[in-house]
Structure 1
């Protein structure tokens, strides 16, 4: 299907690696324009910025590290000046398969033609693994908790729902926005055939004593987050659950159940266990007191592992 839709891609970047240039070159073949927003990088290579611009991207630089929501919002506001029909948000460590955007637009057109109120179009697979959906076996399945990277959002949705919540800083930005548009009666549909490759963090063997846990003949690994990320996951998750528990109880309780499992795995099998626990405690404290935004310098020091 040939599309006349105009798509602006917005990429959040922090100390952008050199391979982002090739990713932008490939992405440019799928969208009308690419905006890379550098989120106050302290150690970025100026040559990478130059190469990104040579590849056709517009590079915006935040004055300080303000978080992924603020970076993406800055790119969306900039792109809005040319009135695109859709925004595609991406992380610097993600890459779309060829034809991804066309397939996502196909899914949008087919769903809207059938009267489905589409608020966003999401990947069907992450790293070739199917995403979790709200209900399987339906014609236009809804993603359960899609990550923002690889999400195609109609411009009109931001006009209705507002931009991403900057107080969250990093984690749960995508989950909160999905819950918000769902409250407005919009759907986060999955686009058949759309796969995004995304870095999943450090992988460590899952062990019980000396035994490498094996299920179904496959050795299991734990993909862990740095403790400072666990702080944001904890704080922002609790804030979000309080906001949407009475509005979307099934989704909230199901997500809490999944998070409880993830917390157990992080604490039992992950690295820096004491700092992981500290990050959880600090996240709970700040969720209860309403402290949002960037983690304080004092707390960041408490949860940051010492360099060897």
Structure 2
């Protein structure tokens, strides 16, 4: 790519699929360096990592599954000696549209020229759908709760705010970091024209009895998470809310309202309802008792669906 800014992309991978190789090849056309961090994959195909290296990526391997924050931090620390100006964080199931990075850098340059303190630059849309904004209709709007995948973060932001919080392990890592930089007076601006394609979890019809729920002439579907993810969403959300409620009450209360709706949809329409409820209860318990990090083996066993007999 031709720009005065140097960008290092860091991808967190776990049992990466073979199509990650082609994604990395396309990503390499937009950035100077691609780092893939294997987060202790137990069943990864060694050939995939060999092909990633042949495609020009640096492959780092975590000794054990340590969570997305630890994986991304490892990649950031690896790249720091080469002094990139920006880091682009990505999940293995995400892909940027062509020209994404150039548009994101342009947005950052424009913000800087107008003295807007941009702490990160986020996608304007996910899978073609606009992201939620803090306040629409203004110059340099801020993303309400940006996803880490596809976020362009200046190295200077990490220097003043620190790296991602590893104790959260998976969910809310991005939300907590956004809230943290906001405390420092930095903004998570959206970049016009930037779209990222990202997997959104399992999808199933939203039904009431035999009726497929239809709103505005469109049949509705539920995008659900595995119960162990619901545990992390619940626990980490509560940890984050207790941390930022007094200083960012509007953002926290708005986010809680959205989560309540999502919980209702998951429990009423999603699969494994009893285990979803158990995951929520265990997440609340561990948030109250201050337990963070990886889910305990006992809790994981309680929320993991048993395989169906063949």
Shorter-chain TM-score range: over 0.9
Distance 1:292 1:260 in 2: 22
Alignment of 1:32-43 (within 5 A): 32-43=32-43
Shift of the alpha carbon at 1:86? 0.1
Alignment of 1:246-257 (within 5 A): 246-257=246-257
Distance 2:119 2:140 in 1: 13
Q: Say which SS state the counterpart of residue 59 (structure 2) adopts.
A: strand
Deviations 1:239-294 (A, max 9, x none): 00000000000000000000000000000000000000000000000000000000
Q: Say which SS state the counterpart of residue 9 (structure 2) adopts.
A: strand
Shift of the alpha carbon at 1:227? 0.1
How well do the aligned residues superpose, as a CA RMSD in angstroms?
Answer: 0.8
Q: Say which SS state the counterpart of residue 71 (structure 1) adopts.
A: helix
Q: Name the counterpart of 2:199.
A: 199
Distance 1:202 1:41 in 2: 21
Q: Say which SS state the counterpart of residue 82 (structure 2) adopts.
A: coil
Q: Name the counterpart of 2:281.
A: 281
Distance 2:61 2:272 in 1: 33
Q: Name the counterpart of 2:239.
A: 239
Q: Name the counterpart of 1:296.
A: 296
Shift of the alpha carbon at 1:3? 2.4
* Residue 222 of structure 2 is aligned to residue 222 of structure 1: yes
Q: Say which SS state the counterpart of residue 254 (structure 1) adopts.
A: helix
List runs of 5+ in structure 2 lacking aligned partners.
none
Q: Name the counterpart of 2:104.
A: 104
* Residue 145 of structure 2 is aligned to residue 145 of structure 1: yes
Distance 1:219 1:63 in 2: 45
Q: Name the counterpart of 1:83.
A: 83
* Residue 260 of structure 2 is aligned to residue 260 of structure 1: yes
Q: Name the counterpart of 2:167.
A: 167
What is the number of equivalent residue pairs in this alignment?
308
Q: Say which SS state the counterpart of residue 194 (structure 1) adopts.
A: strand
Deviations 1:208-248 (A, max 9, x none): 11110000110000000000000000000000000000000
Q: Name the counterpart of 1:115.
A: 115
Q: TM-score, length-normalised on structure 1?
A: 0.99
Shift of the alpha carbon at 1:139? 1.1
Q: TM-score, length-normalised on structure 2?
A: 0.99
Q: Say which SS state the counterpart of residue 81 (structure 1) adopts.
A: helix
Shift of the alpha carbon at 1:2? 5.8
Deviations 1:69-95 (A, max 9, x none): 000000000010100000000000000
Distance 2:126 2:50 in 1: 30
Shift of the alpha carbon at 1:51? 0.1
Deviations 1:145-174 (A, max 9, x none): 000000000001000000000000000000
Q: Say which SS state the counterpart of residue 190 (structure 2) adopts.
A: strand
Q: Name the counterpart of 2:61.
A: 61
Moved over 3 A (4+): none
Distance 2:226 2:81 in 1: 37
Distance 2:2 2:51 in 1: 31
